[in-house]
């Protein structure tokens, strides 16, 4: 039985070709894709490819979407593939599958927010300390985004706010966890840093 040859992902044509693609398989189908689409701006040199699924996918389903994609398409040497999930009610055993997958290749990554992705959004506005539950996280985010209901107004999120969120996330993740945050925290900052570093390197090279 012959193995099917994997295809290369055909990069979209636009005003400017990007140098690096980030393939993201996320737990949610709305908030995360809206947020990360910020980085698909034509002035940046990265492209975010979303592997969409149903709302509130279980970790195993997120991983399966990524595995299925990588069976069909080859990443280039510079591309990265990331799993982005929430801690919520998922067990360590469920999350361990994703963490172990991320260790299989240097181009793979695993970003988890505890209790949920909204903590990462909250860090754009404040330090996020004392978030003890999903409800507390949502209530505090509403102070800054009163109309928030899984929709994000990208125009209200600046590069400065994103950089502050990275700094605050690092402070919550100190000392840095080896797998995922066991208390309030998020490792989404690791993915964001990789995205921002591509654009920074591009500007320095000019």
For the cut 80, the answer to whether the pLDDT of residue 126 exceeds it is yes
For the cut 70, the answer to whether the pLDDT of residue 4 exceeds it is no
Long-range pairs of 34-37 with CB within 8 A, sequence gap ≥ 24: 34/151, 34/152, 34/154, 35/117, 35/120, 35/121, 35/152, 35/154, 35/157, 37/154
Report if pTM > 0.75.
yes
Phi-psi region of 150 (alpha: psi -120 to 50; beta: other; left: phi over 0): left
Distance CA 99, CA 118 (A): 21
Q: What is the pLDDT of residues 131-170, one digit of tens each?
A: 999 999 999 999 999 988 878 888 889 999 999 999 999 9
Q: What is the pLDDT of residues 25-40, one digit of tens each?
A: 998 778 999 999 999 8
Residues contacting 143, CB < 8 A, separation 6+? 125
**Cis amide bond preceding 36, omega within 30:** no
- pLDDT-derived band at 203 (thresholds 50, 70, 90) equals low
Q: What is the pLDDT of residues 64-115, one digit of tens each?
A: 999 999 999 989 999 999 999 999 999 999 999 999 999 999 999 999 999 9
pLDDT at 53: 75
Picking from 115-119, 146-150, 201-205, which range would have the lowest pLDDT averaged per residue?
201-205
């Amino acid at each position: 039985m012959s193995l099917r040859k994997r295809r290369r992902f055909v990069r979209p044509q636009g005003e400017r070709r990007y140098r690096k693609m980030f393939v993201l398989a996320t737990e949610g189908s709305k908030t995360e894709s809206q947020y990360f689409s910020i980085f698909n701006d034509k002035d940046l040199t990265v492209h975010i490819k979303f592997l969409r699924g149903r709302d509130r996918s279980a970790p195993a389903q997120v991983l399966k979407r990524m595995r299925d994609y990588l069976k069909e398409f080859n990443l280039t040497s510079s591309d990265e593939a990331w799993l982005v999930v929430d801690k919520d009610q998922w067990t360590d055993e469920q999350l361990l599958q994703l963490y172990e997958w991320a260790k299989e290749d240097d181009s793979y990554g695993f970003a988890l927010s505890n209790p949920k992705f909204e903590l990462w959004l909250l860090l754009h506005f404040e330090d996020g300390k004392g978030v003890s539950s999903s409800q507390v996280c949502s209530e505090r985010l509403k102070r800054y985004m009163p109309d928030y209901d899984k929709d994000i107004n990208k125009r209200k999120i600046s590069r400065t706010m994103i950089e502050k969120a990275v700094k605050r996330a690092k402070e919550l993740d100190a000392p840095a966890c080896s797998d995922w945050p066991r208390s309030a925290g998020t490792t989404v900052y690791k993915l964001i840093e990789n995205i921002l570093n591509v654009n920074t390197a591009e500007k320095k090279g000019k």
